[in-house]
Amino acid sequence: MTTLTDPPAESFKLSMLVYDTRYRSYTFQILALIGVLLLFGWLTLNTLRNLADLGKVISFDFLGAPAGYDINQRLIEYDNQDTHLRAAFVGLLNTLLVAFLGCITATVVGVVVGVLRLSGNWLVARLMTVYVEMFRNVPVLMWIILAMAIMIESLPAPSAFRGDDPEATMKLFDSVAFTNRGVYVPEPLFSRGLGDLSIGGAFDISLDLIAIVLLLIGSIWVSRRIGRNADAVQESTGLRPRTWPKQLAVIVLPTVILLVVLGFHLGYPELKGFNFQGGTHMRNSLIALWLALSLYTAAFIAEIVRAGILAISKGQTEAASALGLRSNRIMSLVILPQALRVIIPPLISQYLNLTKNSSLAIAVGYMDITGTLMGITLNQTGRELETVLLGMLIYLLISLAISAVMNVYNNSVKLVER
Amino acid sequence: MSNTHADTVLFVRDTMLPQQVPPSSTVGPVGWARQNLFSGWLNTVLTVLSFLFVVFLLYRLVPWFVSPTWDGTSLSNCREILDGHEGACWGVIRDRWQQLLFGFYPSDLYWRPVLTLVLLFVAIAPVLFADYVPSKLLYFSVAFPFVMVWLLWGGTIWMPIMAAAGFGIGYGVFQAVSKVLNAGIALFFGVVIAVAWWVVLAAPVANGIASVLPLAIEPVQSREFGGFMLSITIGVTAIGCSLPIGIVLALGRRSDLPLVKFLCVGFIEFIRGVPLITLLFVASTLLNIFLPPGTNFDIILRVMIMVTLFASAYMAEVIRGGLAALPKGQYEAADALGLDYWKAQRLIIMPQALKISIPGIVSTFIGVFKDTTLVSIISMFDPLGLSNAIRADTDWNGIYWELFIFIGAVFFIFCFSMSRYSMYLERKLQTGHH
Amino acid sequence: MNKSVFLGALTVAGLAAGVAGAATVDDVKARGKLNCGVTTGLVGFAAPDANGEWTGFDVGVCRAVAAAVLGDPTAVEFVPTTGKTRFTALASGEIDLLARNTTWTFSRDVDLKFTFVGVNYYDGQGFMIPKELGVSSAKELDGATVCIQTGTTTELNLADYFRVNNMSYEPVPIETNAEAQQQFLAGACDVYTTDASGLAATRATFENPGDYVVLPEIVSKEPLGPLVRHGDDEWGDIARWTLNALIAAEEYGVTSANADELAASPTDNPEINRLLGTEGELGAMLGLEADWALNAIKAGGNYGELFEKTIGENTPIGLARGLNAQYKDGGLLYSPPFR
């Protein structure tokens, strides 16, 4: 506020602060600033006085204390003697997991439904309309609870798999078990694994995974080089050499060899004791939340996609059919790429909504950041102020990160105008 | 060429063929079905699959829905009636529908929320159906918030009147001062005087008048609100209160003053960046800590405050969209007429921007209305919260689907009709643009 | 301290002029209502019926305190709270008394700054399991999927128990008892663990209660009691002695049926006379009317009556008195003397 480019003239009067447009904006801004500072000061003062009355102090020390509770779904090592901080981190990873899965599924379903709503098939278009209206007009919390209830009620309990003549059997050559505790799928195992890489003693990352990812990145790079070479050949000679066998081989062969070297095999789930053991357990809370969130958001995305497609002028479709393209190619090559520009900005806010709505995980007992930090940790330690503020901060950071990433993408597909 | 050709052909038709009826396979239901359902193998497959899906759903659901349990008095009684068959237990709806709609509102006073709802429609009619109702009704719309508060919460009529008087006083001060000073300063004075009136004078004056002329209806505690009535009250209050806040925020966000802009953007992005549930946690656990020691709102009021803040951030974005959609010529025309900022906003910009924003405002309302179900997580008895409480009754322990279906259906009816209305309005606005 | 707060004219009429002052009892009397925190719904302990009337064992405590202070057992505002909101609601003064089957623990008493005024139900954490699984002891639960209600001491006890016994388990956290019941009945979890009273109450409402057993192990002590804020001893005394009055009334055979009679014609048991206010100044010492305890007893009956009416053996819940019998009958209920 000190950078007054136009120093006060000799005849400065106090009333100029109000009437002179040069100063008026500063007056208002300073008033606004004072007002906001007063508000915050008042709130802080109240908080301090209230906390003093309750005999509490603001302290984040509790984050270092043992949490004492268990979390069923953990992407990193965790047991009940670990700290509240680590529990919060487990929750954060769970939030990110369901948000990531949800965004992908919601996009796929949303695009398909949005396109089908415009389909010439009367029955399909009506069905899709019913789907969209049903999901859009009923609260997402209800869908989450309903999805959970449907999973629990309609799938068999693990005990139904027991006995000589079980009521339920495993599907897909005895490799997948659908139970009302979730879905058990085979897990990848390595008999000659490379072990784990420990980062700062806190997190372990499987070296096998790193090796495979690195190899895949390398192969994809090589395959792209082959493709680019083919482009060059095509430009100079007009003939494009067949590249797909080479590209496929470059990607598949090294991976297969690496997997064999590492001793890759699948670990199948097996009913032992109370539960299925082995395999990867996708819990019903995850599936219910994931399904409900993606179907709910997909209904909105479908509307966005439909609006985006309708926004493309009919001339584009006609021009494309004049070129002799088939209708599905018109959609994928001409309409959707253009519609994307209209679609992406509202899509970003749908992704944000999905991520924020994942905080309703608490209704089905999915242990996300709301369930751990703002749930059990809050209950056990009684630190409302610290946990809730920390939780809000984390959500804010996630939201900002998503909008930042998506905005970068949006700028890259945006129509470059003169 | 053509001449010789004409000579060599044997037959040339020189009259038009009479128009024939189209082939029966392209008209009527058959033609319609061929065109819309079976045009090509992919569509045929899709049609058959969809048809099978619908039939399967109906086959599974209809017998469950058609269940003679309307008179069941408890879940076990329903089981007796059904006698081993699968079926819904609708007795719970008969027993508790009033609770699901009105919560614990005294049953002899149900007319009050119902009347409020009717009046709400009357009040928003001049906004929503401007073409069909006299614009004089707008005066009632202005008075409606006070009527609503009085009808729902009851108590003396003087309190809402005095609260309304605060606005009148504030406006009077604004008018008086704006003759002498800049409109912004006048606004500031108006607000300060109005707030001073509410904090210091309104309650004693209202009590004073009430002791002389007691005009009161039976007061109802906000704790007794529940069910859909609670959802609607929270939703309507939040949208109503967030409209002015949203306008201020939207103007602030478009302001040339960097600090004001920064503050508004910061607030909007913060609220939009966190889930509503965390704001509700703030309402349920922290708001009392932030306020002066000794103050104590009840939880419904705290939730209303937080939902209002939540809605106003979204409202600000909707109104900003409306402002941005306004042709630049309108701003320039206002400037050309020599109107200052406030006059231009009040007379030219806002009326148009708000009109364009109505569909967005309606969808914000739908969103907020649906989101009110989240209050069940912080132990309030919205319909979902009530469904938990109803299940805690020994009679109805074990009931799930019936309650969810009832609640979902009511939500659907509300939200669907509102979204249809907003679509109708969007179409109307589009044609009005030419 | 009386501060009226306005936050916009729209909310004026909805303002609760409640104030968390130093003297809760004065606030309650001024308000004419007791704000009592209960659960959002737990069979037998607190649940609203079709008319919005709350009933249950914890509700009985609220009504007794309201009757003692205000002379009217219906002068209670029931504030439903969750595991998360209950302590904040009490600390912030939104409620005067929390009667929400809350376990008396060291940290809640000392660190969270609350005063437990007694124990109205001695409970312990137990396990319920379908009979068909053939489990007879909690020690055989290695690898089981366990449904737990979050926001309670239950999940900590559970973690401790399985760790100490070197067993693994899969926790399924659940917000409400109703959801837990749904999951358990459908077999989505093998075991349901919560306070034994809750288990019995839940089991009683099953279609076939006989198919489920409650395991003999009780893995924790769960003394459930009403609590108030630290630092307001007068109010704490009122709540404490109202509870004691209910317990003592049962011990001396004062019931809601004969209380008026006993109060009208003083008996030869001075303890009863002092309790009912016909002798001594006990009510005045608490700052209440002389008939405070009489009102409390008439509100819902003495401890035994309340128990029998809401969760006892003749109700669908069918809890035996067990530890919650009078000390004379081998239980733990032992009211200090009224003197």
CATH number at residue B386: 1.10.3720.10
Cα distance between residue B167 and residue B130, in whole Å: 25
Bridging pattern class, strands C144-149 and C191-195? parallel
User: Which residues, in sequence order, are bridge partners of residue C228?
Assistant: C115
CA distance B277 to chain A (A): 7
Number of inter-chain CB pairs under 8 A, A vs B = 154
B237-to-A29, A403, B287, C8, C10 alpha-carbon distances in Å: 30, 30, 19, 12, 9
The answer, for B195 touching chain A at a CB cutoff of 8 Å, is no
Query: How many CB atoms are located within 10 Å of the residue A168 CB?
Result: 16
Q: For A59-98, write each residue's pLDDT tens digit.
A: 888 899 898 888 888 888 888 889 999 999 999 999 999 9
Which residues numbered 312-331 in C keep a CB inside 8 Å of some CB on B? 315-317
Return left, alpha or beta for A263; rule: phi > 0 is left, psi -120 to 50 is alpha, else beta: left
Q: Which residue of A has its CA nearest to C176?
A: A363
Q: Is residue B76 part of a domain?
A: no
Inter-chain CB proximity C144 and A274 less than 8 Å: yes
Q: For A245-256, write each residue's pLDDT tens digit.
A: 888 888 888 888
Cα distance between residue C339 and residue C274, in whole Å: 7
Supply the DSSP symbol for A163. Answer: S
The answer, for C186 touching chain A at a CB cutoff of 8 Å, is yes
Q: Is C270 helix (H, G, I), strand (E, B) or coil?
A: helix
Q: Which positions ≥6 away from A335 have C-beta within 8 Å?
A: A309, A312, A316, A317, A320
CATH number of C21-122+223-329: 3.40.190.10
Bridging pattern class, strands C144-149 and C169-174? parallel
pLDDT of residue A30: 87
Inter-chain CB proximity C12 and B163 less than 8 Å: yes
Inter-chain CB proximity C113 and A274 less than 8 Å: no
Cα distance between residue A413 and residue A406, in whole Å: 11
Contact A268, A168 (CB under 8 A): no
Inter-chain CB proximity C230 and A380 less than 8 Å: no
Contact C299, C63 (CB under 8 A): yes
Nearest CA to C316 among B94, B76, B402?
B76
Inter-chain CB proximity A362 and B258 less than 8 Å: no
Supply the DSSP symbol for B376. Answer: G
Q: Is C289 helix (H, G, I), strand (E, B) or coil?
A: coil
Q: For B125-141, write each residue's pLDDT tens digit.
A: 887 777 777 878 888 88
pLDDT of residue C17: 35
Which token pair is C78? 């029931």
Nearest CA to A194 among A280, A258, A251?
A258
**Phi, psi of B363, rounded to the nearest 5 degrees:** -70, -30
Contact C160, A69 (CB under 8 A): no
CA C226, chain centre distance (Å): 6
Mean pLDDT, range A208-232, rounded to an integer: 88
Cα distance between residue B95 and residue B74, in whole Å: 9
Inter-chain CB proximity B394 and C84 less than 8 Å: no
Q: Is C93 helix (H, G, I), strand (E, B) or coil?
A: coil
Q: Is B156 helix (H, G, I), strand (E, B) or coil?
A: strand
Cα distance between residue A317 and residue A320, in whole Å: 5
Q: Could you state, in order of their start, the residue ranges of all structural domains in chain C?
A: 21-122+223-329, 125-220
Mean pLDDT, range C82-98, rounded to an integer: 84
Residue A1 has pLDDT above 50, yes or no: no
Minimal Cβ distance to B263: which of A25, A36, A145: A36
Residue A205 has pLDDT above 90, yes or no: no
- Residue whose pair of structure tokens reads 């950041």 in the numeric block: A369
Residue C12 has pLDDT above 50, yes or no: no
Residue bearing the bigger pLDDT, C272 or A207: C272
The answer, for B401 touching chain A at a CB cutoff of 8 Å, is yes
Residue C19 has pLDDT above 80, yes or no: no
Query: How many CB atoms are located within 10 Å of the residue C134 CB?
Result: 8
Inter-chain CB proximity A71 and C171 less than 8 Å: yes
pLDDT of residue B424: 86
The answer, for C88 touching chain B at a CB cutoff of 8 Å, is yes
C chain contacts of residue A382, beta-carbon cutoff 8 Å: 87, 107-108, 111-112
pLDDT of residue B6: 56
Cα distance between residue A226 and residue A231, in whole Å: 9
Mean pLDDT, range C114-132, rounded to an integer: 92
Q: Which positions ≥6 away from B199 have C-beta within 8 Å?
A: C6
Q: Is residue B241 part of a domain?
A: yes
Residue C297 has pLDDT above 90, yes or no: yes
Q: What is the DSSP string of C132-151?
A: GG---SGGG-TTEEEEEESS
Which token pair is C44? 């037998």
The answer, for C30 touching chain B at a CB cutoff of 8 Å, is no
ipTM of predicted complex:
0.85
The answer, for B170 touching chain C at a CB cutoff of 8 Å, is no
- Residue whose pair of structure tokens reads 């912004």 in the numeric block: B184
C chain contacts of residue A285, beta-carbon cutoff 8 Å: 172
Minimal Cβ distance to B397: which of C43, C85, C94: C43
Cα distance between residue B43 and residue A125, in whole Å: 11
Cα distance between residue B317 and residue B264, in whole Å: 11
Report the largest interatomic distance among the alpha carbons of chain B, rounded to a whole angstrom.
Answer: 113
Minimal Cβ distance to B384: which of A141, A362, A392: A141
Q: For B275-334, write each residue's pLDDT tens digit.
A: 999 999 898 888 888 888 777 777 888 899 999 999 999 999 999 988 888 888 888 898
Task: Give kind and range of the element (H or E) at residue C214.
Answer: strand C212-214
Cα distance between residue B281 and residue B310, in whole Å: 13
Angle subtended at Cα B97 by Cα B94 and Cα B103, rounded to the nearest 5 degrees: 145
Q: For A282-312, write each residue's pLDDT tens digit.
A: 888 999 999 999 999 999 999 999 999 888 8
Which residues numbered 97-156 in A keep a CB inside 8 Å of some CB on B? 119-124, 127, 133-134, 136-142, 145-146, 149
User: Which residues, in sequence order, are bridge partners of residue C149?
Assistant: C174
Inter-chain CB proximity A69 and C159 less than 8 Å: yes
Tell me what percent of the residues of chain B surpass a pLDDT of 70. 96
Mean pLDDT, range A2-23, rounded to an integer: 62
Q: Is residue B320 part of a domain?
A: yes
Structural domains in chain B (count): 1
Q: Best residue in B86, B394, B399 to probe C by mutation, most C CBs within 10 Å?
A: B394
Kindly compute the dihedral angle of the four CA atoms of residues B161, B167, B173, B176, in this order, to the nearest 10 degrees. Answer: -100
Minimal Cβ distance to C77: which of B103, B221, B397: B221
**Where are the alpha helices (H) located in A155-283, listed in sequence order?**
171-174, 207-237, 244-262
Residue stretches of chain B with pLDDT short of 70: 1-7, 182-184, 430-434
Cα distance between residue C61 and residue C240, in whole Å: 11
- Residue whose pair of structure tokens reads 């809605």 in the numeric block: B311
Asked if C21-122+223-329 and C125-220 have one fold, the answer is: yes
Supply the DSSP symbol for C13. Answer: G
Cα distance between residue B384 and residue C90, in whole Å: 24
B404-to-A293, A362, A365, B45, B408 alpha-carbon distances in Å: 18, 18, 19, 34, 6
The CATH fold assigned to C125-220 is D-Maltodextrin-Binding Protein; domain 2 (3.40.190)
Domain of B242, in residue numbers: 222-434
A chain contacts of residue B182, beta-carbon cutoff 8 Å: 18-19, 24
Cα distance between residue B174 and residue B171, in whole Å: 5
Q: Is A115 helix (H, G, I), strand (E, B) or coil?
A: helix
